């Protein structure tokens, strides 16, 4: 008899708007407060104190336009947020400050979340959807210089980029970009030459989200249809479909693989969070708590494995925090 699905460890209420973005920052020192950042539809970024389970700070920097991506650069004192006001803001949160120190005006009206990759100490690359409909631009931070602009060839008809992931095989190697597009294909880009290395049609509908495991060179993508697609990168840097997994209800808005590469979580339009084993995509659990679409899922970066958490943000204004499969 399999055990009944677990309940959330606790639920964070108080955003009073749909939650679109989540990011943990719990990997700090012993006495550091573990923190969860959440971006909401009302333009606020809430900084949750996971010890007291209350909002420590509320950041208002996107003119009440929805915030759909938050990510830290080097610890919780430096935060990037992306909003529908076409801006990406860099926040300085050290020592109680809450100010926007820098911003990038993307001129992009889409919903594509950026992707951040640390390439060296003090240097990051950020991929974002650019002004032109099909293009992706990669900037170097903090200098904000453009590294390259990735334009698909004429007639490729990929549509808008829907999700991005910057990665590199190991520290020091070439950074590469995986982009999922509106036509259902996933493209691997070479940043230095700005060219397509491989393109794979994974879905019949737009790719909504993707995540990639650089160790196993295997990735997974979710779409608005009922299928999850798992694909891999072979030695010739070609993408090929590994397998597909059918779901009961259509629509996946977010996918994330846990840092230890053991499990992954999907956020579904059917209000459910699904947990799978990453090795063979074995379904492990269906977490049914939310009463509306789950927009985002995120795993925490706790140093102590038993403290690891999974957070899910939903349209019903709640963030559920789960402690699941923490023994391994």
Partner 1 sequence: VCFIPGGSDCSISFASHILGKVCVHGRQKEILSILVPHLSDLTKSDCIWQRICWRLVECVPDRWMEAVVLGFVQRAPGADVLSRLLGNLVVKNKKARFVVTQKLLLLQYGYKTAVLQNLLGYMSQDSLRRALLIKVLQELLETWGSSSAVKHSPAEQQQYISKAILICLSHLKESEIESCRQELLTSMMEGVKCHLDSSLPQIRRLGMIVAESISSKINTDGPVLKFQYEEDDEARELKSLLVQSPPFCVVASVPDDHRNEKADAALPLVLESNGKSHTAATHVTPDEESDAELDSDDDLIPYDMSEDKELKKTKAPVYIRDCIEVLTGCEDVDKWEATVKAVESLVRKNPAATREVSVELAKILLHLEEKTCIEGFAELRQRAQVAVLTTDPIPVAQYLTSQFYSLNYSLCQRMDILDVLVLSAQELSYPKARGKTKHSGAQRPCIQLLPGSDSSKDWRRIVDERIKSKTRRFAKGPSQVELAFGPNEFNSVAGHFFFPLIQNFDRPLSTFDLLGEDHFVLGRLVHTLAILMYLAVNTMAVTAMGKALLEFVWALRFHTDSYVRQGLLSCISSMLLSVPAECLLENMTEELLETQSWLEDVVEKDPDGDCRRLALQNLLLMENLKKKLRTVPS
Question: What is the contact surface with partner 1 in residues (CB under 8 A)?
Answer: 1-6, 248-249, 262-263, 270-272, 277-280, 282-286, 288, 325, 328
CB 287, min distance to partner 1, A: 9
* Contact (CB, 8 A) for 242 and 256: no
Instruction: State which residue, 48 or 322, has the beta carbon closest to partner 1.
Output: 322
Q: Kindly tell me which of 195 and 282 has the beta carbon lying closer to partner 1.
A: 282
What are the helix (H) ranges across the chain? none
Residue 24 or residue 269: which is nearer to partner 1 going by CB? 269
Q: How far is the CB of 235 from partner 1 (least distance, A)?
A: 16
Q: How far apart are CA 248 and CA 275, in angstroms?
A: 14
**Distance separating alpha carbons of residues 219 and 303, to the nearest angstrom:** 24
Residue pair 89/80 in contact by the 8 Å Cβ criterion: yes
3-class secondary structure per residue, 33-90: CCEEEEEECCCEEEEEECCCCEEEEEEECCCCCCEEEEEECCCCCEEEEEECCCEEEE
Q: Which is nearer to partner 1, 86 or 244 (CB)?
A: 244
Nearest approach in angstroms of CB 248 to partner 1 is 6
| CB of residue 163 to partner 1, shortest distance in Å | 23
Q: What is the number of other CB atoms lying within 10 angstroms of the CB of residue 272?
A: 21
Cβ 294 vs Cβ 326: under 8 Å: no
Indicate the residue among 94 and 248 with the shorter CB distance to partner 1: 248
CB of 312 to partner 1, least distance (A): 16
């Amino acid at each position: 008899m399999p055990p009944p699905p677990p309940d959330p460890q606790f639920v964070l209420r108080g955003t009073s708007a749909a939650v679109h973005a989540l990011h943990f920052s719990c990997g700090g020192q012993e006495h550091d407060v573990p923190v969860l950042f959440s971006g909401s539809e009302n333009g606020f970024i809430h900084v949750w104190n996971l010890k007291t389970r209350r909002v420590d700070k509320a950041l208002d920097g996107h003119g009440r336009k929805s915030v759909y991506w938050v990510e830290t650069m080097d610890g919780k004192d430096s935060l990037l947020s992306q909003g529908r006001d076409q801006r990406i803001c860099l926040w300085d949160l050290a020592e109680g400050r809450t100010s926007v120190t820098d911003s990038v005006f993307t001129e992009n009206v889409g919903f594509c979340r950026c992707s951040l990759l640390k390439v060296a100490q003090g240097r990051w690359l950020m991929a974002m959807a650019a002004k032109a409909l099909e293009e992706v631009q990669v900037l170097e931070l903090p200098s904000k210089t453009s590294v390259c602009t990735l334009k698909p060839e004429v007639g490729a008809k990929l549509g808008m980029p829907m999700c991005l992931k910057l990665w590199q095989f190991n520290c020091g190697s070439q950074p590469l970009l995986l982009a999922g597009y509106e036509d259902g294909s996933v493209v691997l880009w070479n940043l230095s030459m700005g060219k397509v290395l491989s393109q794979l049609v994974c879905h019949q509908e737009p790719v909504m989200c993707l995540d990639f495991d650089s160790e196993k060179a295997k990735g997974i993508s979710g779409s608005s249809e009922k299928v999850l697609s798992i694909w891999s990168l072979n030695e010739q840097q070609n993408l090929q479909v590994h397998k597909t997994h059918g779901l009961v209800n259509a629509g996946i808005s977010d996918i994330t693989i846990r840092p230890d590469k053991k499990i992954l979580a999907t956020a579904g339009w059917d209000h459910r969070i699904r947990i799978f084993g990453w090795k063979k995509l074995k379904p492990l659990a269906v977490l049914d708590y939310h009463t509306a679409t789950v927009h985002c899922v995120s795993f925490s970066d706790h140093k102590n494995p038993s403290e690891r958490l999974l957070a899910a943000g939903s349209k019903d204004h709640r963030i559920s925090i789960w402690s699941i499969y923490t023994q391994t």
